[in-house]
Protein backbone atom coordinates (compact mmCIF):
# COMPACT_ATOMS: atom_id res chain seq x y z
CA UNK A 1 0.00 0.00 0.00
CA UNK A 2 2.80 2.35 0.96
CA UNK A 3 4.51 1.86 -2.43
CA UNK A 4 1.27 2.58 -4.27
CA UNK A 5 0.65 5.68 -2.15
CA UNK A 6 4.13 7.11 -2.95
CA UNK A 7 3.75 6.33 -6.67
CA UNK A 8 0.35 8.02 -6.65
CA UNK A 9 1.78 11.09 -4.93
CA UNK A 10 4.66 11.36 -7.44
CA UNK A 11 2.21 10.99 -10.30
CA UNK A 12 -0.03 13.71 -8.84
CA UNK A 13 2.99 16.06 -8.39
CA UNK A 14 4.03 15.38 -11.97
CA UNK A 15 0.51 16.23 -13.21
CA UNK A 16 0.54 19.48 -11.19
CA UNK A 17 3.97 20.50 -12.55
CA UNK A 18 2.84 19.71 -16.08
CA UNK A 19 -0.36 21.74 -15.65
CA UNK A 20 1.62 24.66 -14.22
CA UNK A 21 4.10 24.62 -17.13
CA UNK A 22 1.18 24.46 -19.59
CA UNK A 23 -0.50 27.44 -17.91
CA UNK A 24 2.72 29.46 -18.00
CA UNK A 25 3.29 28.61 -21.68
CA UNK A 26 -0.31 29.49 -22.57
CA UNK A 27 -0.01 32.80 -20.70
CA UNK A 28 3.19 33.60 -22.64
CA UNK A 29 1.43 32.79 -25.91
CA UNK A 30 -1.48 35.07 -24.99
CA UNK A 31 0.92 37.89 -24.10
CA UNK A 32 2.74 37.49 -27.44
CA UNK A 33 -0.63 37.49 -29.23
CA UNK A 34 -1.66 40.70 -27.46
CA UNK A 35 1.66 42.33 -28.35
CA UNK A 36 1.31 41.28 -31.99
CA UNK A 37 -2.24 42.69 -32.09
CA UNK A 38 -1.06 45.98 -30.59
CA UNK A 39 1.81 46.18 -33.09
CA UNK A 40 -0.51 45.43 -36.00
CA UNK A 41 -2.89 48.17 -34.82
CA UNK A 42 -0.01 50.65 -34.71
CA UNK A 43 1.21 49.68 -38.20
CA UNK A 44 -2.36 49.79 -39.55
CA UNK A 45 -2.86 53.28 -38.13
CA UNK A 46 0.47 54.45 -39.57
CA UNK A 47 -0.27 53.01 -43.00
CA UNK A 48 -3.72 54.65 -43.20
CA UNK A 49 -2.24 57.98 -44.22
CA UNK A 50 0.71 56.58 -46.18
CA UNK A 51 0.68 56.85 -49.97
CA UNK A 52 1.98 53.48 -51.10
CA UNK A 53 2.06 51.94 -54.54
CA UNK A 54 2.03 48.18 -54.15
CA UNK A 55 4.30 46.50 -56.65
CA UNK A 56 3.91 42.76 -56.75
CA UNK A 57 1.45 40.70 -54.83
CA UNK A 58 0.00 41.37 -51.42
CA UNK A 59 2.44 38.96 -49.79
CA UNK A 60 5.39 40.68 -51.45
CA UNK A 61 4.32 43.99 -49.95
CA UNK A 62 3.98 42.55 -46.45
CA UNK A 63 7.33 40.77 -46.70
CA UNK A 64 9.03 43.98 -47.88
CA UNK A 65 7.58 45.97 -44.97
CA UNK A 66 8.67 43.32 -42.48
CA UNK A 67 12.12 43.12 -44.10
CA UNK A 68 12.47 46.94 -43.97
CA UNK A 69 11.54 47.02 -40.29
CA UNK A 70 13.98 44.19 -39.57
CA UNK A 71 16.75 45.95 -41.47
CA UNK A 72 16.09 49.17 -39.58
CA UNK A 73 16.25 47.36 -36.25
CA UNK A 74 19.49 45.59 -37.18
CA UNK A 75 21.07 48.91 -38.21
CA UNK A 76 19.96 50.47 -34.93
CA UNK A 77 21.46 47.56 -33.00
CA UNK A 78 24.67 47.74 -35.02
CA UNK A 79 25.06 51.49 -34.35
CA UNK A 80 24.19 51.13 -30.67
CA UNK A 81 26.69 48.28 -30.19
CA UNK A 82 29.58 49.75 -32.22
CA UNK A 83 31.79 52.28 -30.51
CA UNK A 84 33.15 53.58 -33.83
CA UNK A 85 29.71 54.02 -35.38
CA UNK A 86 28.43 55.65 -32.18
CA UNK A 87 31.35 58.10 -32.31
CA UNK A 88 30.60 58.89 -35.95
CA UNK A 89 26.89 59.27 -35.20
CA UNK A 90 27.52 61.64 -32.32
CA UNK A 91 30.07 63.58 -34.39
CA UNK A 92 27.93 64.10 -37.49
CA UNK A 93 24.33 63.18 -36.69
CA UNK A 94 23.77 65.02 -33.44
CA UNK A 95 20.70 66.85 -34.75
CA UNK A 96 22.64 70.08 -35.33
CA UNK A 97 23.33 70.78 -39.02
CA UNK A 98 25.72 73.57 -38.05
CA UNK A 99 27.91 71.12 -36.16
CA UNK A 100 29.06 69.49 -39.42
CA UNK A 101 29.94 72.92 -40.80
CA UNK A 102 31.86 73.80 -37.64
CA UNK A 103 33.78 70.52 -37.83
CA UNK A 104 34.57 71.10 -41.52
CA UNK A 105 35.77 74.65 -40.78
CA UNK A 106 38.01 73.29 -38.02
CA UNK A 107 39.59 70.74 -40.37
CA UNK A 108 40.15 73.46 -42.99
CA UNK A 109 41.95 75.56 -40.39
CA UNK A 110 43.93 72.59 -39.03
CA UNK A 111 45.20 71.58 -42.47
CA UNK A 112 45.79 75.11 -43.76
CA UNK A 113 43.43 74.85 -46.75
CA UNK A 114 43.11 78.19 -48.56
CA UNK A 115 39.82 80.00 -49.11
CA UNK A 116 40.40 79.65 -52.88
CA UNK A 117 40.51 75.86 -52.49
CA UNK A 118 37.28 75.96 -50.51
CA UNK A 119 35.61 77.97 -53.30
CA UNK A 120 36.68 75.58 -56.04
CA UNK A 121 36.18 72.20 -54.35
CA UNK A 122 33.08 70.17 -53.59
CA UNK A 123 32.67 68.83 -50.07
CA UNK A 124 33.82 65.39 -51.29
CA UNK A 125 36.91 66.82 -52.98
CA UNK A 126 37.74 68.94 -49.93
CA UNK A 127 37.45 65.92 -47.61
CA UNK A 128 39.61 63.93 -50.05
CA UNK A 129 42.25 66.67 -49.98
CA UNK A 130 42.14 66.73 -46.18
CA UNK A 131 42.60 62.93 -46.10
CA UNK A 132 45.60 63.19 -48.40
CA UNK A 133 47.10 65.88 -46.14
CA UNK A 134 46.57 63.98 -42.90
CA UNK A 135 49.28 61.82 -41.42
CA UNK A 136 47.18 60.72 -38.42
CA UNK A 137 45.30 57.46 -39.16
CA UNK A 138 42.50 58.23 -36.67
CA UNK A 139 41.89 61.63 -38.32
CA UNK A 140 41.94 59.91 -41.74
CA UNK A 141 39.34 57.44 -40.49
CA UNK A 142 37.17 60.26 -39.21
CA UNK A 143 37.53 62.09 -42.54
CA UNK A 144 36.56 58.92 -44.43
CA UNK A 145 33.49 58.64 -42.23
CA UNK A 146 32.67 62.29 -42.89
CA UNK A 147 32.98 61.64 -46.63
CA UNK A 148 30.63 58.64 -46.41
CA UNK A 149 28.16 60.74 -44.41
CA UNK A 150 28.41 63.59 -46.96
CA UNK A 151 27.70 61.16 -49.81
CA UNK A 152 24.78 59.59 -47.97
CA UNK A 153 23.22 62.95 -47.09
CA UNK A 154 23.57 64.35 -50.63
CA UNK A 155 26.15 66.92 -49.55
CA UNK A 156 29.17 65.42 -51.37
CA UNK A 157 28.70 67.31 -54.66
CA UNK A 158 27.81 70.63 -53.03
CA UNK A 159 30.57 73.26 -53.34
CA UNK A 160 32.44 73.42 -50.03
CA UNK A 161 31.99 77.19 -49.79
CA UNK A 162 28.22 76.76 -50.11
CA UNK A 163 28.17 73.95 -47.53
CA UNK A 164 29.92 76.23 -45.06
CA UNK A 165 27.38 79.03 -45.52
CA UNK A 166 24.76 79.30 -42.79
CA UNK A 167 21.79 78.79 -45.13
CA UNK A 168 22.90 75.36 -46.42
CA UNK A 169 20.86 72.55 -44.89
CA UNK A 170 22.31 69.08 -44.48
CA UNK A 171 19.76 66.37 -45.40
CA UNK A 172 19.48 63.62 -42.86
Q: What is the CB-side half-sphere exposure of residue 139 using CA atoms within 13 A?
A: 17
Q: Is the pLDDT of residue 4 over 50?
A: yes
pLDDT score recorded for residue 170:
45
pLDDT in tens, 83-94: 666 666 666 655
pLDDT in tens, 94-151: 556 567 677 777 877 887 777 777 777 888 888 888 888 878 777 787 788 778 777 7
Q: Is the pLDDT of residue 171 over 60?
A: no
pTM (predicted TM-score): 0.38
- Which residues fall within 8 angstroms of residue 98, CB to CB, at 6 or more apart? 166
pLDDT score recorded for residue 22:
93
| Three-state secondary structure call for residue 58 | helix
pLDDT score recorded for residue 168:
43
pLDDT in tens, 142-167: 788 778 777 777 777 888 777 776 44
pLDDT score recorded for residue 172:
40
For 112: left if phi > 0, alpha if psi spans -120 to 50, otherwise beta; the answer is left
pLDDT score recorded for residue 70:
76
Q: Are 92 and 143 in contact (CB under 8 A)?
A: no
pLDDT score recorded for residue 167:
46
pLDDT score recorded for residue 86:
64
pLDDT in tens, 33-67: 988 888 888 878 777 776 666 566 656 666 777 77
pLDDT score recorded for residue 23:
93
Amino acid sequence: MKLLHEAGREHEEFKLRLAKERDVDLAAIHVQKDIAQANSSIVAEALKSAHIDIVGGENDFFEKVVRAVGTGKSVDRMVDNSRTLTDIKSTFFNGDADYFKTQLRQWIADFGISSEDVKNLTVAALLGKLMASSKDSSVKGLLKSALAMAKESGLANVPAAEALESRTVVKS
